[in-house]
Structure 1
Amino acid sequence: MDTIKKLKAGKTTGADLMHLAKLSDGMLQKIRDEMLEPFPRKVPPIVSSARLQEMCGIDKQRMGYVLKKGELPAGTQAKPGSPRQFTVEETIAWIRSERNPLPRNGPAKVIVVANFKGGVTKTTTSTLLAQGLSMRRGRRVLHIDLDPQGSASTLYGINPHAEVDSSQTVMPLIEAYLEGKPFDMTALPVPTYWPNVDIIPSSTELFNAEFMLPARAASDGEVRFEQVLHDGLAQLKDTYDYIIVDTAPTLSYLTINAIFAADGVIVPVVPDMLSFASMVQFWHLFGDLINGMQAFDDGRAKEFDFVDVLVTRMTSKPAAQILQGWITQIYGSRVVPIEIPESDLARNTNMRFSTFYDLGPNDVGAETLRRIRTPVDQLVDRVDDKVCAIWAQEE
């Protein structure tokens, strides 16, 4: 790999910055290739028979009975009598048959994971939701990466800087909308390595939207710049059960679009003082945005099915416990009664471009994996149960 060029007279030029970008791209690609060996792309994990039984809510006897009937995938065994292992796709077939989740009763629900502060696990949370809703509930999920940094895309094994151009992101929708032209949104989603999860990836070219949207709105007051994503997603809501949107850690024009497209919002927060202080600003900005656009939009109010607060990276430290108490006291029933703990395992999975759900029975001890994955399972189930109740009310 090239070495960094010497800078002249201590000055840094645009050419130097582009050279650093090239070096970074090369290193990221090298790291990704080494992490994913021997596969050119990420592959879904193997699911143990015990894990499958837990997700389906069945015991060993029931599994044996179903296997004898031969109506569901039998998985594989290393040798006769050894525990069975299943692919995620096979697991989904079992979930749909044995757990029999309630069918979608209405258009897909758009869930946005947002906070205007970085480091609160927005991307990890949105990816775990997409993976979990697919595997645990058999849902069809579209994951949209609206962060120009492309972290969600990276978790799917995609290098957003080297492998994604603007035509594969939501940029064509934005360009067509601002030009008053129709656009076929069904052309954008692409399959991921994870069964039942598609993605509209991101790239740094999404930054262009932050100039295009306000410029067009300034020149034409009739342009509804905040409704671009909302209107575009209408074409996809009969194809998917859920549309999960990952946002940038800022109140950008893309984040505004995500919020106005959302049916529900999940706000991750870390129990430390800086994150807590940032949350105060978040609610002010969030409220001002919704109320301001309502006044601009002839009094039509934006409403959400839910806005929930999720405590993440929770520790047993006294300061974290105090902050968690404040969060619960202030936000009450909006606080999800599940805490996602901080752990070395979480940090290690991020280093591998992975999530907890990417880990299989051969990657980490069963008890360690169960302990860290249980609250995530509970979050996924709670979200789906809540949405099913909303669908029932909308009949």
Structure 2
Amino acid sequence: MFNKDESPTSFLLVQNLDEDESPSVQIPLSTSRIREREYIQKKGFFYRLSSRTNVFTKYQVRGAELVLIDSLQLSNPNFETFSWKDDAHLLAVSREEIADKKSQARVYQINVKEMKIVKEETIVLPFATQQYWALHVGLVDLDKDDLWLAYSFFKSKGKYGHTTSDTTYYATINYGNFQLKSIQKEVRSTYPGGFNIIQSYSFKDEQGDYYFMTNPGIALGNNIKRPTAIFRKKKDQHLVDEDYMINISESIGNHAYGIWYAGDGKAVIRNEQRTLFKDFSDYHSVYQFEYRLVDLKSGKIEKIPFPLDKGTQKENVWSDRRYVYAAIDDSNDEHRVWKYNLQTKEVSKGIKLPNTTNYTVRLDYLK
């Protein structure tokens, strides 16, 4: 969570998320900057893969402290996405800035137990143009021997910094020799994923099918004429299913950011309300964000009656397949976890966070 007085960011540890529960441990972190929140939690450890530095760090909670265990120097910053190959190996992908406008992605496989780089390779991705040449790598997936990347290109644009081209690309690469096997073009939407070191944009269901979301709204891709949409890549396939698309923007009249699996073919999304913000200058501070449940088979989208939330790019949703939990900062200046019963569709209150809280940006289940 981020505090109102800009004191160091904190982790709160609790035994459960019930309304009468109190935080048992509060751990202040070393930074108060809201952009520095790229923590990855796995098997009792926290990892930090920053988009601004080239240091990969490993931490562990010990008592009321987050203790640095080890660190690893990488070749470059600009990390946008990661995926787990297995419990011991993290795949991390960065975009490389080079002078002649060639589009490059750098892939790392890191053994997090030994904190060693197992593989490291640069991949040149074609289709950059003179106008749109800056690379965004939003998603990575490893399926057997194929490495799959979803990416797009963007350019600088005035006040809001950038805008994205109309096309998404899906590259399939032989993970043994890093040779490019194929590229699939996607013109139904753009800006696949986002910065998933900060927020989730993909998942695999019980059958191993890979679902992901594009994010062309003002807060990420900034190509607002394109729809936010959910797509699918079936297990053991490197081509995205061209017959499958859930057009979120068409259904709800707004863009969305972030997707989390709730089990049994249902997913949660977090959407903006374009009538409630002026432009990106007040976007993060307006109480506008809604939460909706998407049926991945039928495409039906239902609103979850949580209070309106504020803040962009939050990793604040989790589900135990019975409830959906969301950490929300509402207009009453109350900061708490809310619960949605997936069977009864009832909403109830969960744990309330300290009054010093300004934003709650993560909700992690430690296992």
> Does the TM-score normalized on the shorter chain lie above 0.5?
no
Higher RCO (Cα < 8 Å, 6 or more apart): 1
Larger fraction in strand = 2
Larger fraction in helix = 1
Q: Which is higher, the Rg of structure 1 or of structure 2?
A: 1
TM superposition score normalised by structure 1: 0.29
